[in-house]
Structure 1
Amino acid sequence: MSEANQGARGVVPPQGTGMSEGTVFRLPDLGEGLTEAEIIEWKVAVGDVVAVDQAVVEVETAKAAVEVPSPVAGTVTRLYAEAGAVVDVGAPLLALNGDEAGAAQDTATARRRERYREEERAGSGNVLVGYGTPTARRSRRAARRASGQAVQGQAASAPEAAPRREVPRVISPVVRRLAGDNGVDVGALAPSGPGGVVLRRDVEAAIAAAARPQEPGPVRDAPSGDGEVRVPLRGVRRTVADKLSRSRREIPDATTWVDVDATALLRLKRDIGRADPAAGVGTLALIARACVAGLRRFPELNAYVDTERQEIVQLPRVHLGFAAQTDRGLVVPVVRDAQRMTLAELAAALRERTDEARDGRIAPGDLTGGTFTVNNYGVFGVDGSTPIINHPEAAMLGVGRITERPWAHKGKVRLRKVTQLSLTFDHRVCDGGAAGGFLRFVADCVERPGVLVTHM
């Protein structure tokens, strides 16, 4: 491996030493402009033998949680940071002593397979993809070690600790995040998973128990600030906060809305389900397809503002984003080139991105680059909203819940399936005429699906 290639993959020999004496592996550039990552879990400890492309650490970036594989083989001699630390791109992660051959790599491979089987038995089902070489296959998260891991090679000299009770293990970072965000002490839970593993249902049960009303007790004076919960703005939550704040600062947004009769659209969905059940076409896919057709007629809304050059840039391709609520917070997965997809293809892509986002295995690149967003806030049981535009996009369509309401239909008042559509748009890219025209077109597709079919 040449020195240039070593640097490109984050491998740097320590100054004044050769490769055989030791190699410092630094946090690589994970793409998408990311500059730092938080260490969630070490997969190795000092003294472990590491194979090429073996996952050595799991980190959480501003986009997603990923496993970072080692580009070289060797024995771990030092870990440079503890779990929970935030590490800059290019900062040292761990040191490896020389290349190991034959039996050493076989041992590492066997250990990795055993961790894979343990993860399978635990049933977490969360697959995270590393950034490694093309031959590196996707790996399951390895089980967290029951005992504490050595940091910076000091474990060998540490005094023998007193015996401690075995703490329940949490394999899935999604479960750890859910517990941390809700102030649940996993060490106090009774694990229901095989081998003493804390599963998501254990944490959800603890959250539900804490939310139950308690019997009133005597009122006591409490110091100021008692009961405060402070959640650090890190990872996805910090990125979302920064993006929404920037959107509010830079985009002069306006919102227009309309109530629509969705009865015919729901009938179309049922008819498609009977004709082709495998297609899995849902309401979101139908409305998303209407938006794609609407953007073809009103390209002003598939755009962004280049503030440096003071130009409105209209885009020829539709990269459709959609809001998805996950355990790690609100994310906006993106379906690229939606304008080229059939309705069935778009429905399949929406399902795939949703599953990836909720499982915590979506690639960082699939959370950026959208040109228009659909926000189905109706799943939360609300009728309307004025959402913040996903910067730097120019518009977002909101969909409220679909409920039965009295509605004038064919000269009579009947109960119909009604929903509210709202369009929040950047007033710099278009005026109310274009925004209203787009919203009316989507509303017509909902009320008269024949309009939608002619634009599929």
Structure 2
Amino acid sequence: MAQVLEFKLPDLGEGLTEAEIVRWLVEVGDVVAVDQPVVEVETAKAMVEVPCPYGGVVTARFGEEGTELPVGAPLLTVAVGATEPSASSGSSASPAGPRGASAEGGTGADGSAAGPGSGAGAGSGSGSGNVLVGYGTGAPAARRRRIRPERTVVAATASTSVPATVSTSVPAAAAPVAGPVSPSAVAGGVNGRQGPVAVVSPLVRRLAREHGIELRQVTGSGPDGLILRADVDAAIRMAGAAETGSRAVAEPAAPLVPERTAVGAGEPAAERIPLRGVRGAVADKLARSRTEIPDATCWVDADATELMTVRAAMNAATGPSAGPKVSVLALLARICTAALARFPELNSTVDTEAREIVRLPGVHLGFAAQTERGLVVPVVRDAHTRNAESIGAEIARLTELARTGKLSPAQLTGGTFTLNNYGVFGVDGSTPIINHPEAAMLGVGRIVPKPWVHQGELAVRQVVQLSLTFDHRVCDGGTAGGFLRYVADCVEQPAVLLRTL
């Protein structure tokens, strides 16, 4: 007999607490194998394909595409050991409780039996050893677990007829399919008491608590009556309108879905775009950087003619010793690692609680990359051990992953210094914001022909503007100026770099 197991959104690592469903890779009734990707989600860091630790038939999916789910929320249920897409509701069930389900089983969102959130198939070997960071699927316990009635999760109040669901563990013999709960059962709850409301997000509970909203009076718009933040936001607006009468009610700062707010008769509506996913993560990091880091910026114009000449000669080389083409960004990255070796103060971070500057032993070089999903900063690990060719190859690899949205969270974190080439946007200068918790960022403008005094005469040279934003806590202007001057010297006279090779 098939055992129906529930697979929950696993811990995706890097402190991520939620993810948005981008695309389902399976349908209800599909047969999946162990560790087969079943859904593509977007976190604040990257796009991730989530593999299922069970092999069997998909019996239910939780959440539509575009829905944001917290870690630990149900993703789907799988009938392990099933040969047909749908489980039968034979006579093996014994009615128990107001829902008509057996005393040792529960029902999923679509009436299918729900299983444990992190177990594997009982004795079937259908569970994988590990799925993602912080999430594993070990063998299940052999003993049967009995559902306690008070753990029933109701998904609606007495005033609605939305079916409620039970999210519980399933014993070795799966429970049969149960029908929707009646309104009376929802109103009465279990043993005459109303059960807990269908809220899985701590943020939603906190928002309701701060505004005095009774969640049992809120009708959820999520799957199976799940109360979302948008529902609480609507309840806050309604409560505010009742209290203030004709006064305008302030809209929440960040609703979960875009909406248009009427400004006045005949006036166009303002579009509200939620800060979430990559854009939300960038916004949080930049705001924190400007709040915590006392930054300062210095800049200098440099004659990059010799650097461009050397690059052209490197890429024109032929023969066995000629490697792949070297980009300008790769050369600038190599110059940065040489400069950080001379000025290690800028390869550090600040421990605000201990009031200590932490100088880091290795350079993990981040570089800003603009993608369709927004600005991301992939990290070249151990850049201080690489030459220009190796750095260039890694930049090209990570850039391609960024464009396709396949960067992992680990590839987007852990940087110690960032290189930002905003010259690709056709601008000369900028004052970049430091990528918290790093201590500095080097910005590079476009390289363009400009009049320049060269060897005492006016000439047309390839000129670039370099700007350095640094944390004034880790060093003073002398150190920052020395770093930037060394970078400019290497750009103007690439032979200077040979001393460190």
Q: Which residue of 2 aligns with 1:453?
A: 498
Alpha-carbon deviations, 1:182-237, whole Å to 9, x = none? xxxxxxxxxxxxxxxxxxxxxxxxxxxxxxxxxxxxxxx98466253332211111
> Contact 2:59/2:76 (CA < 8 Å) preserved in 1?
yes
The partner residue of 1:427 within 472, 489, 501 is 472
Find the counterpart in structure 1 of residue 304 from structure 2.
Answer: 262
Q: Which has the higher contact order (CA 8 A, sep 6+)?
A: 1
Contact 1:322 1:332 in 2 (8 A): yes
Alignment RMSD (CA, Å):
2.5
Corresponding residue for 2:16?
Answer: 34
In structure 2, the residue matched to 1:115 is: none
Partners of 1:358 and 1:452 lie apart in 2 by 32
Instruction: State the shift of 1:280 in Å.
Output: 1.6
Q: Distance in 1 between matches of 2:405 and 2:440?
A: 27
2:1 pairs with 1:22 = no
Identity of aligned residues (%): 61
Say which of 63, 67, 72 aligns to 2:49: 67
Is 1:272 aligned to residue 314 of structure 2? yes
Range moving further from structure 2, 404-413 or 319-328: 404-413
Cross-structure match for 1:329: 374
CA–CA separation in structure 1 for the residues paired with 2:434 and 2:372:
22
1:239 matched residue in structure 2:
281
> Which residue number in structure 2 is paired with residue 82 of structure 1?
64
Q: Say if 2:488 is the partner of 1:443.
A: yes
* Counterpart Cα distance in 1 of 2:311 and 2:404: 27
Amino acid at match of 2:374: G
Deviations 1:95-147 (A, max 9, x none): 1112357x99xxxxxxxxxxxxxxxxxxxxxxxxxx8489xxxxxxxxxxxxx
Give the 5 Å matches for 1:299-318: 299-318=344-363
Change in 2 beyond 3 A, CA 1:86/1:402: same
Report if the CA contact (8 A) 2:11-2:132 is conserved: no
SS in structure 2 of the partner of residue 39 of structure 1: strand
Whole-Å separation in 2 of the counterparts to 1:403 and 1:228: 40
1:255-280 Cα deviation digits (max 9, x unpaired): 00001000000001001001156422
Counterpart in the other structure of 1:99: 81
Partner of 1:350: 395
SS at 1:22's partner residue? strand
Measured in 2, the distance between the counterparts of 1:401 and 1:272 equals 21
Q: Compare CA radii of gyration and give the structure with the larger one.
A: 2
The structure 1 residue matched to 2:461, chosen from 406, 412, 416, is: 416
3-state SS in 2 of match to 1:434: helix
For residues 269-323 of structure 1, give each alpha carbon's deviation from its aligned partner in whole angstroms, at most 9, with x where no partner exists: 0010011564221111111111100000000000000111110000010000000
Aligned equivalents of 2:7, 2:406: Cα separation in 1: 24
Query: More helix per residue: 1 or 2?
Result: 1
Counterpart Cα distance in 2 of 1:346 and 1:404: 27
Aligned equivalent of 1:55: 37
In structure 1, stretches of 5+ residues that fail to align are: 1-18, 105-130, 135-151, 158-220
Flag structure 2 segments of 5+ consecutive residues without an equivalent.
86-129, 134-164, 166-178, 180-262
TM-score, with normalisation over the residues of structure 1?
A: 0.69
Describe how 1:202-217 pairs up with structure 2 within 5 A: none
